[in-house]
A and B are shown apart, each in its own frame.
Chain A
Amino acid sequence: MTPVFAVSLDALTSADFWIGVGVLAGTYTIFTLGLQLNVGFTGIINFGQAGFMAIGAYSMGILVVRAGWSLWAALPAATAIAMAAGVLIGLPSLRLRADYFAIVTIAFAEIVRYVAQNARGLTGGNQGLLGFDDQWLDVSDTILGWLPASMQDQFLLPLLIVVWVTVAILTGLLMLLQRSPWGRVLRAIREDEDAARALGKNVLAYKLQSIALAAALGAIAGYFLALNLSFLSPESFEPQFTFIGFTILILGGLANYVGVALGSLIMWTLLEATRFIDLPLAAEKVAALRFVIVGVALILLVAFRPQGLLGKRQEMVLRD
């Protein structure tokens, strides 16, 4: 009798597998750095990060494909659009209780997906949006040319390199910011925003800055996702992807920027490995299995190890 759970380990030793995992893990590290800034360091619960990722990626794609912009001009413009969306969402909801912001952001992410699906003239709807990455492919070829000949058939390698260089730069910048007086105000707001207010800090302005920066990080993650897939479709930006980010966040540890990359690597190794579990199931059911794993992991982590791998337990428990 053949066992039902047969894992072919060959896949786990192949370079393709690890490059794929590396690109996804890097992309989601950037995505989750934004969540870390909001949740771990400012104390605002952003459940709409996938929405910002979608806004960034689609704005970039639309500017390049529909408006004929250069990719290099579209990237900063799309980042600015995502940041503006963050401020617009934050303005009505950040003044209110923390759970309102969670509700509004999750609703926002769903609306963004909905628009991506239905505004076909702009986004291509379910057909997707293609042809925004020509300029990137030139760069990718150049990078590939610098690499040893034995690696040149790995066409995702340049993306892997660029994504992790970006991760390193962004993580470093965020850690510097966190050590600045600006980061100190954020920490105070996270602990007790009334205390910060009483000391003359404009709490709403800081929260808006935090959400705008997170939106920018989401948008950057969106560009890498788009370049990885080489087309944009609504299902790549479903609201539930935010919660893969949250699982990574808790796994790595709240209020710890380095933990994000670690959590992301572990999470994506696990998720991608599920592809190689030989289950007698249709593809959609295997896809569902991955999200069941995310759900169970999220529940168990939050219940039994809220501090994650590198965080401090108090960071999670003492706050309300």
Chain B
Amino acid sequence: MAGAADTAVEPAPRDEPRGAAPALAGLSGGRGPLLVTVAIVAAIALVLIVAYGIHDVAQRGVNGLVSGSYFALGAVGLTLVYGTLRLVNFAHGDLLTFGAYMAFLANVTWGVPIVLATLFAVVATAALGVLSERVMWRPMRGRGAGMLQLLLMTLGLAFVIRYGIQMIWGTFPRRLEVDVTDSISFLGLRIGRTELIVVIVGFVVLLAVGLMLRRTSLGRQMRALSDDMGLAEVTGIDTDRVVIATWIFAAGLAGLAGVLYTAAIGTMTPNLGFFLLLSLFAAVILGGIGNAFGALAGGLLLGLAQEWSTLVIDPRWKVAVGFGILILVLFVRPQGLFGRKERTL
């Protein structure tokens, strides 16, 4: 019986009514939180515009969308893996690193054009994700591994990926064959040509991801599973197929995010994914852990918050803004902006 694991905090399934409908809803919190969020962001923007002028706010907003796009792409995979497998994957950041170095391998070492190199990186990272599922996560789940065991294994994997890369390529910063100096101006706002491409690619993919999650049956199954594994099994979803799809999706997007990050920033080091992991977690928790749309929104919001923060504080500290947001969300609204208050497990 599913109720065997219930605790007093979760309502016992056999004693409590609950509908399947909320589990399949999009932003489970409904429209309310979305409107509130938009209102808050608009209010903050307005205050900043009054204080610092529209040009600066818009320019940093543009920068924020650049970083927000790779935060969002990284965060959505992290949250889906958590949702479907109850696995907090501390190796997720290193999947971004892996993607970046795969692109480097194809683009610089083999001389493949950047577009193809990016595709190669996405496929290779997705393959790594599936491999980890088959070699590590599925066997461990089969053995009924506890949470601590799984968390420590993700960390072990993170070390193997990160330092394996460092053993091969060293810590010297590497570049892709992209022009990071060329920039264009639009309405007085400056954006790097590569950054523009990053934003466009990022948003197109985010949109595609969003549509996929909402419109296709695979996407709906992934979200249903992410929301409630027991429910998904009962309703006859082929969980194994969905789990593999989730890994392909999560790891592939992580690989892409790694490439986009490198393209936007200019260089990669083996630590890049670990440094980004903090921001990805902040985005995931901000959006409500397990909620795919929440992670997309959380990533974008975090990008904006970090860049706008540089108007007020020294840019050196913008990484700390992510941490500040993480703590603030846990205090004020631990279920995240779009999460449901209490999950029925």
Contacts and interface: CB of A to CB of B under 8 A. Distances in A.
Q: A and B from one assembly? A: yes
Contacts of B281: 103, 107
B151 interface: yes
A142 interface: no
Interface in B118-136: 136
A122 interface: no
Interface stretch (A7-15, A268-276, A292-300): A292-300
Contact of A250 (B152, B162, B275): B152
Contacts of B54: none
Given A198-B8, A319-B146, A295 B159 contact: yes
Contact of A114 (B146, B164, B319): B319
A96 interface: yes
A161 interface: no
Contacts of A320: 146-147
A195 to B, nearest CB: 9
B155 A243 contact: yes
A317 B149 contact: yes
A302 B153 contact: yes
A289 B282 CA distance: 30
A198 B8 CA distance: 10
A273 to B, nearest CB: 17
Interface in B155-180: 155-160, 162-164, 166-167, 170-171
Nearest to B162: A291
A104 B278 contact: no
A100 interface: yes
A296 B160 contact: yes
B163 A114 contact: no
Interface residues of A, number: 52
B167 A289 contact: yes
Contacts of A284: 166, 170-171
B330 A306 contact: no
B35 interface: no
Contacts of B245: none
Contacts of A118: 316-317
A67 interface: no
Contacts of B326: 103-104, 107
A92 B329 CA distance: 9
B145 A317 contact: yes
A100 B167 CA distance: 32
B85 interface: no
A237 interface: no
Interface string A160-192: 000000000000000000000000000000000
Given A92-B327, A100-B334, A107-B323, A240 B159 contact: yes
B320 interface: yes
Contact of B278 (A92, A102, A107, A319): A107
Contacts of B317: 118
Contacts of B65: none
Contacts of A290: 163
A106 interface: yes
A281 interface: yes
B90 interface: yes
A104 B8 contact: no
A98 B147 contact: yes
Contacts of B260: none
A93 interface: yes
B1 interface: no
A108 B158 contact: no
B88 A99 contact: yes
A316 B166 contact: no
B163 A289 contact: yes
A47 B148 CA distance: 11
Contacts of A239: 274
Contacts of A298: 152-153, 155-156, 159
A144 B79 CA distance: 56
B168 to A, nearest CB: 8
A295 B163 contact: yes
A251 B166 CA distance: 26
A292 B159 contact: yes
Contacts of A240: 159, 274
A199 B326 CA distance: 33
A289 B270 CA distance: 13
Contacts of B319: 111, 114
B140 interface: yes
A285 B167 contact: yes
Given A285-B166, A288-B166, A296-B160, A108 B323 contact: yes
**Which of B88, B159, B275 has the most chain A CB atoms inside 10 A of its CB?**
B159
Given A115-B320, A316-B148, A299 B136 contact: yes
- In the A-B complex, the 7 residue pairs with the closest CB atoms: A295-B159, A298-B156, A299-B156, A288-B166, A291-B163, A295-B160, A288-B163
Given A103-B285, A107-B323, 20 more contacts: A92-B331, A99-B147, A104-B330, A110-B274, A110-B275, A111-B278, A111-B320, A114-B320, A118-B317, A239-B274, A243-B156, A288-B164, A288-B167, A289-B167, A292-B164, A295-B158, A296-B156, A298-B153, A303-B139, A316-B146
Interface of B: 7-9, 88, 90, 136, 139-140, 144-149, 151-153, 155-160, 162-164, 166-167, 170-171, 270, 274-275, 277-278, 281-282, 285, 316-317, 319-320, 322-323, 326-327, 330-331, 334
5 contacts: A92-B330, A102-B88, A115-B320, A285-B167, A288-B164
